[in-house]
Amino acid sequence: MNSTAEYWIEKLKLEAHPEGGFFKEVYRSEETIESKTLPERYKSERCFSTSIYFLLAGEQFSAFHKLQSDETWHFYEGSPLEIFIIDEESNLSVPKLGRDLENDETLQLTIGKGKWFAARIIDQKSFSLIGCTVTPGFNFEDFELGKRDELLSQFPNHSVIISQLTHD
């Protein structure tokens, strides 16, 4: 098996993602949930579920963002990732996504709706290939990319990591 970022980007036909890295949607449920049956935070109907491939290479990172839905990350290949999650009470947790269960890594991790989160590769000479599943399904209407100044104002106790993992 080939283990370079370039191989996976080409083989899976990945494209640049606004939060950083590369992605490709691989599943979008054909069935939908009517907006009237969803919580008010959703402005229109949503499909049941979506999934993507997502890849970070080298010093790339997934910038702080949040979704209106839960998102589950699944580890596939490469270096483990650190995922930085800031909850509504300003608590920071940093679980690791990877295969080394003896080193407190996990193969799968769910980030709850409305939490700010970002990710970076532990071995920045490598890459990380993961999958992401969103339920109800992903819609860019539900995606908010963090603005550095606003996050620093909201979470001043996490200024170092916010400054490292935002694009502006």
Domains of the chain: total: 1
Residues 100-158 pLDDT 10s: 999 999 999 999 999 999 999 999 999 999 999 999 999 999 999 999 999 999 999 99
> Is residue 1 pLDDT above 90, yes or no?
no
State the pLDDT at residue 29. Answer: 97
- Which pLDDT band holds residue 58 (cuts at 50, 70, 90)? very high
Using CA of residue 137, residue 138, residue 141, residue 147, what is the dihedral sign?
positive
Domain at 148, CATH number: 2.60.120.10
Q: What is the pLDDT of residue 24?
A: 98
pLDDT at residue 2, rounded to an integer: 64
Q: Give residue 164's pLDDT band: very low, low, confident or very high (50, 70, 90).
A: very high
pLDDT, tens only, 76-97: 999 999 999 999 999 999 999 9
What pLDDT score was predicted for residue 3?
82
- Average pLDDT of every residue of the chain: 95
**Closest listed residue to residue 9, CA positions, set 114, 106, 129, 113:** 129
CB atoms under 10 Å from CB of 48, counted, come to 13
pLDDT of residue 168: 80
Those residues whose C-beta lies under 8 Å from the C-beta of residue 22, and which sit 6 or more positions away, are: 9, 14, 15, 16, 54, 55, 56, 57
**What's the whole-number mean pLDDT along residues 13-31?**
95
Residues 33, 46 contacting (CB under 8 angstroms)? yes
pLDDT of residue 162: 98
Q: Is the pLDDT of residue 49 over 90?
A: yes
Kindly tell me if the per-residue pLDDT of 39 is higher than 90: yes
Q: What range defines the domain where residue 73 resides?
A: 5-34+43-164
